Amino acid sequence: DGGITQSPKYLFRKEGQNVTLSCEQNLNHDAMYWYRQDPGQGLRLIYYSQIVNDFQKGDIAEGYSVSREKKESFPLTVTSAQKNPTAFYLCASSLGGLAGGSTDTQYFGPGTRLTVL
Amino acid sequence: GESVGLHLPTLSVQEGDNSIINCAYSNSASDYFIWYKQESGKGPQFIIDIRSNMDKRQGQRVTVLLNKTVKHLSLQIAATQPGDSAVYFCAESYGQNFVFGPGTRLSVLP
């Protein structure tokens, strides 16, 4: 059963804590992405990775960090430096990679809802 | 449920009627477009895509129309069903960039 999984579905964080959101895919996709979704707004890109051991900042990378040690996994850490972390976080992947073009459809995971207490 | 979709424009249609959801995109250089469906509390689901060298593409019960002259994209859903209730948003792509619209909430009335 191929697809993208995210865990946990709901996550609660206290002020000053770092938390890590998991994203795994078994689609053999090279490219992976993290987006943040807020009410009434389009998805905003946090970080993306076109290939293992490489990642790039997106539009709103401040307060977040990622790693890409394995092709299948692209975890996102929300650090205490992120001032307004409460949001719905979506991970996506595409066939992509460095040779990928604009016709690579992005497929999304089910999302993680992060709430700061 | 999720608060995604709060304050979005809403389209209400009667069950069985056709729905038309519109999207204005921003970049005339965009060459690939996707429509996604997002149900409450879930990730976006791919519906249909279209490249800029086409102006119409049909899927099962869905049709996407592209008007590059006015940078407009529409999604038509035939015989709308209760299961079609969701937020629908478009995405445009140019180069390695994807830009997502905020979406429209489709509400299907019995």
Q: Give contacts of A37 with chain B, Cβ < 8 Å.
A: 4
Tell me if B76 sits within 8 A of B65, measured CB to CB: yes
Are B43 and A109 inside 8 Å of each other by CB?
Answer: yes
Q: Could you tell me how far CA B59 lies from the centroid of its own chain?
A: 13
Q: Tokens 């119409």 identify what position?
A: B56
- pLDDT category of residue B96 using cuts at 50, 70 and 90: confident
Better pLDDT: A83 or B65: B65
Residue A7 has pLDDT above 90, yes or no: yes
CA-to-CA distance for B51 and B102, rounded, in angstroms?
Answer: 21
Are B93 and A103 inside 8 Å of each other by CB?
Answer: yes
The dihedral of CA B78, B79, B83, B88: what is its sign? positive
Residue B12 has pLDDT above 60, yes or no: yes
The pLDDT, as a whole number, for residue A16 is 87
Q: Give contacts of A88 with chain B, Cβ < 8 Å.
A: 2-4
Q: By C-alpha distance, which of A27, A28, A44 is closest to A36?
A: A44
Q: Tokens 């689901």 identify what position?
A: B45
The pLDDT, as a whole number, for residue B2 is 39
Are A103 and B36 inside 8 Å of each other by CB?
Answer: no
Q: Is A111 on the interface with B (CB under 8 A)?
A: yes
SS3 of chain A? CCCEEEECCEEEECCCCCEEEEEEECCCCCEEEEEEECCCCCCEEEEEEEECCEEEECCCCCCEEECCCECCECCEEECCCCCCCCEEEEEEEECCCCCCCCCCCCEECCCEEEEEC
